[in-house]
Each structure stands twice: as structure tokens, then as C-alpha cells.
């Protein structure tokens, strides 16, 4: 997967990762404010994971790459990846 991600051009913020980032940022705020069920976010975890991987690998902005890489260190991703392997 990482090899494929490195081949993709990035033109942050004019890329699909930014569109996903903006969308999920709002969704996360809605979940945290209890205006949306957590299940809505959980169903999108694979997309969020792939978005963060792409951002950490391809983004031209060093700050964005570092931020995305730091997000991927959160223990939730280890748990999520484990659950995806069992589906």
C-alpha cells in the first residue's frame, strides 16, 4: 500500500485527502458534540486511515505530514487494523 501511495501526486489542499479531511473534521466535531452517533464515524474508519496514510506519505506540507503521522500513532489504529483483519 505504501508503495502505491508514494506514486500518487499531491497538491494539498487541492487533493482528495483534503476534501476527506475537511468532511471528517466536521463529522468528528459533530460526534464529540453528541449531535451524531459514534457509529457514523466508526463506519468511516478505513477511509480516515487511508487518508491519514496518504497525507503522511505524500503531502507537500511538512506540518501536515507530521500531523498525519502523529495521528496514525494513536492506539485506535492498531485496534482498528486488527478488527479489519478479522472481517
CB half-sphere exposure, 46, CA atoms < 13 A: 6
Going from N- to C-terminal start, the domains of the chain cover 8-85
For residue range 31-46, list pLDDT tens digits in order.
Answer: 889 888 988 888 899 8
Cα 63 → chain centroid: 15
Q: How many other CB atoms are there within 10 angstroms of residue 28's CB atom?
A: 14
- DSSP readout, 14-76? SSHHHHHHHHHHHHHHHHHTTSS-HHHHHTTHHHHHHHHHHHHHH-S-HHHHHHHHHHHTSHH
- Encode pLDDT of 18-75 as tens digits: 899 999 989 988 988 988 898 888 889 989 998 999 899 888 889 999 999 999 999 8
Q: Is the pTM of this model over 0.95?
A: no
Amino acid at each position: 500500500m505504501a508503495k502505491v501511495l508514494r506514486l500518487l501526486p499531491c497538491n494539498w489542499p487541492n487533493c482528495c485527502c483534503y476534501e476527506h479531511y475537511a468532511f471528517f473534521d466536521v463529522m468528528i466535531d459533530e460526534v464529540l458534540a453528541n449531535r451524531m452517533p459514534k457509529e457514523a464515524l466508526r463506519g468511516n474508519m478505513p477511509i480516515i486511515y487511508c487518508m491519514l496514510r496518504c497525507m503522511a506519505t505524500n503531502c507537500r506540507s511538512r506540518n501536515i505530514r507530521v500531523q498525519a503521522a502523529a495521528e496514525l500513532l494513536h492506539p485506535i489504529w492498531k485496534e482498528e487494523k486488527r478488527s479489519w483483519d478479522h472481517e
